[in-house]
Structure 1
Amino acid sequence: MAVNKQQCLDIAAAIIDGNPPDDETYNELARMPEQDVFAMLPGANAVREHFFGQRVHLCCILNAKSGKCAEDCAFCAQSVYAKTNVPVYPLMDGQAIQKGEQYATANRIHRFSVVTSGGRLSEKAVGRLAGAIADLPKQDLRFCASLGTLGSSDFEVLKQAGITRYHHNLETAESHFEKICTSHTYADRVKTITEAKKAGMAVCAGGIFGIGESDAQVLELGVALRRLDVDAVPVNFLIPVAGTRLEKTPGISALRCLKIIALLRYLLFDKPILVCGGRTTNLGCYHDRVFQAGASGIMTGNYLTAPGCEPSDDHRMIHELGLIAK
């Protein structure tokens, strides 16, 4: 039986009252046709407002080491298996990282993340990067890192430098993972998330959508993130890049993007959901609806290898929607 708008509102009310629905109800939400997504939005928005009010979290990233990644992720322009023209450069020095921090501060962004290509950053390089971040001011800006499959000693070094959150996406559902990546396993990603949490770091973990996954696999990924009890969930939508294995992948529709965000909000009701890569490319004129669908934050500025939105434009959008960047 299809779920209608009133049933979605009832599900939202139950979540707000501390009674999330059973698995079959989530399956019904996942099976809703994307054309019916607007029936999901009022409830998703109500859940977002209950847990996050009118606050919107802004984050940005710095691609601090680019290209020549030995992993074979099908969507990634930085893989050595992809025939792309992305910039290739080694780990940036402290001055370049400082400029990234200054950009984030000047643009009233809340969290600044340093990202590096490759399966993992070496222990020596982790120390260099941590030293650069340790020297940065720690006032209103918070720091995040995404450096691959690190171990417990690496996480301790990052913590000492003032990095409070580690980013490591699951990318997609376990049942779909081998179609996207064969150079490492889904279990490897779970292990890194587990190790980061054991080390006392907050974890930002989500995935990329529009890479051939089914609606059931979107739900499967969401359930895995709930089981891991991650602290924030980035939602990315594929921007097909020429030269990658997914270059000919059909675009994901704006309505399906909104449906994915809404489904994750119902499932991960009290977790920050941040819409990141592919926001404007895939949602187009609907990209300001991500908050109505349940997102509580967005990535602003450029992505790893593609341009994003100017922070000033995102601040203006947030203000015009009656929300608060805080």
Structure 2
Amino acid sequence: MDKQQCLDMATAIINGNPPDDATYAELARMPEQNVLDMLPGADAIREHFFGRSVHLCCILNAKSGKCGEDCAFCAQSAYARTDAQIYPLMDSEEIRKGVQYAKANRIHRFSVVTSGGRLSGKAVARLAGAMASMSNTDVRFCASLGTLGATDFEVLKRAGITRYHHNLETAESHFEKICTSHAYADRVETIRAAKRSGMRVCAGGLFGIGESDEQVLELGMALRHLDVDAVPVNFLIPVSGTRLEKIPRISALRCLKIIALLRYLLFDKPIIVCAGRTTHLGRYHDRVFQAGASGIMTGNYLTAPGRNPSDDHAMIRGLGFVPCSGN
């Protein structure tokens, strides 16, 4: 597949005629050295559905460490031997400070994230109370609290939390190589439960964990089938003491290919590049928008430093984009 074929595919998508699965499989097989041929079409799709608007989000690691899950990449897993901080659920004042940080830095969406398989009902209610007290700001709220049930989602909704984050992490065919303490199906069911409750869902994955091109496509197809509302794209930052500490880092071209492939596939969904953006792409990290990204995470990650929001705002302005203010 060459540049013109990619542009033709983009035009068809924009006109409401997405390609069949076989064509997507061909796109996924594009050699890494030819990835730049994918970008003009991906950029055109992004421009059509999202214009010059860039979604900005940030997270707060509100409960850290001692997670009983064995995810191979995670610094907070009890199975890992890392220097990640360990602390219980933050109090309401610390959570309020996180919201204030988002507001002060003109960040559209703020998410509270907690370690562990799930947060207890009592803790969910306490966190929701803290968020509800800040619901009069312009910041939209998101939460990532593990495997919750219908009652928990109702509590979050009443507190003004409009979106639930729960990544699939990787393709089903690769999942058991990454995690054995819970099943891929459990993650799917949590996404479905959140959607049944009426919440929007932010679900994507982590790349650079040994997946193939076909498995990137497999994950994208699963996200399309689940009709998630936003797709975070993370690139592994290997942490010493985890099972994936020595896995080779993927190239900047492969990162761009992953973003572009997801844009062709999930053409009308926000794609938000999160962890690993600057680590993997370096000085070229602003090319994620050419590859089809419509948003970025700014500020710190869960256990690693991120990028200063003022630098990201300057980058956005310099590229002729504007921060989004919608849902």
TM-score category (smaller protein): over 0.9
Q: Which moved more, 1:3-12 or 1:136-145?
A: 136-145
1:89 is matched with which residue?
Answer: 87
Q: Distance in 1 between matches of 2:249 and 2:137?
A: 40
Q: After superposition, what is the alpha-carbon deviation per residue over 1:127-158, rounded to whole angstroms, capped at 9, x for unaligned?
A: 10001101114332100000000000000000
Q: 2: CA distance between counterparts of 1:131 and 1:139?
A: 15
Tell me the residue number matched to 2:27.
29
Does residue 117 of structure 2 align to residue 99 of structure 1? no
Q: Residue type of the partner of 2:172? A: E
| Residue 179 of structure 2, aligned match among 178, 181, 193 | 181
Amino acid at match of 1:35: Q
C-alpha contact 2:135 2:159 (8 A) present in aligned 1: no
State the distance in 1 between where 2:323 and 2:131 align: 24
2:106 pairs with one of 105, 108, 133: 108
Question: In the alignment, is residue 195 of structure 1 matched against residue 193 of structure 2?
Answer: yes
Q: Secondary structure at the match of 2:161?
A: coil
Instruction: Give the Cα–Cα distance (whole angstroms) in 1 for the partners of residues 282 and 23 of structure 2.
Output: 30
Q: Deviation digits for residues 166-188 of structure 1, max 9, x if unmatched? A: 00000000000000000000000
Pick the aligned partner of 1:136 from 127, 134, 143: 134
Aligned to 1:314: 312
Q: Distance in 1 between matches of 2:35 and 2:308?
A: 28
Partner of 1:16: 14
Unaligned runs of 5+ in 1: none
Q: Percent identity?
A: 80
Given that 2:53 and 2:321 are in contact with CA atoms closer than 8 Å, whether structure 1 keeps it comes out as yes
Tell me the amino acid that sits aligned with residue 292 of structure 1: Q
**Structure 2 equivalent of residue 63 of structure 1:** 61
Question: Could you say which residue in structure 1 is the equivalent of 2:294?
Answer: 296
Match of 1:228 in 2: 226
Question: Matches of 1:116 and 1:195 in 2, distance apart?
Answer: 19
Counterpart amino acid of residue 79 in structure 2? Y
CA RMSD of aligned residues (A): 0.5
**Which residue of structure 2 lines up, in the alignment, with residue 269 of structure 1?**
267
Aligned counterpart for 1:146 among listed residues 135, 144, 147: 144
Q: 2:214 aligns with which of 210, 213, 216?
A: 216
| SS of equivalent residue, structure 1 residue 213 | coil
Secondary structure of the structure 2 residue equivalent to 1:101? helix
- When the two structures are superposed, what TM-score results if normalisation uses the length of structure 1? 0.99
* Corresponding letter in the other structure for 1:154: D
**Pairing 1:46–2:40 present:** no
Give the gaps of 5 or more residues in structure 2: none
Cα distance in 2 for partners of 1:287, 1:108 equals 21
- Runs of 4+ aligned structure 1 residues displaced above 2 Å come to none
Q: Deviations over 1:40-65 (max 9, x none)?
A: 00000000000000000000000000
- Displacement after TM superposition at 1:35 (Å): 1.0
Query: Which residue does 1:155 correspond to in 2?
Result: 153
Aligned to 2:166: 168
Inter-partner Cα distance in structure 2 for 1:318 and 1:4: 29
What SS does the aligned partner of 1:164 have?
A: strand
Aligned letter for 1:85? Answer: D
Counterpart Cα distance in 1 of 2:249 and 2:321: 29
Q: Calculate the TM-score normalised by the size of structure 2.
A: 0.99
- Partner deviation per Cα, 1:260-295 (whole Å, 9 max, x = no partner): 000000000000000000110011122000000000
Within 2, Cα distance between the matches of 1:244 and 1:139? 38
- For 1:105, the aligned partner's letter is K
Distance in 2 (CA, whole Å) between partners of 1:137 and 1:104 is 13
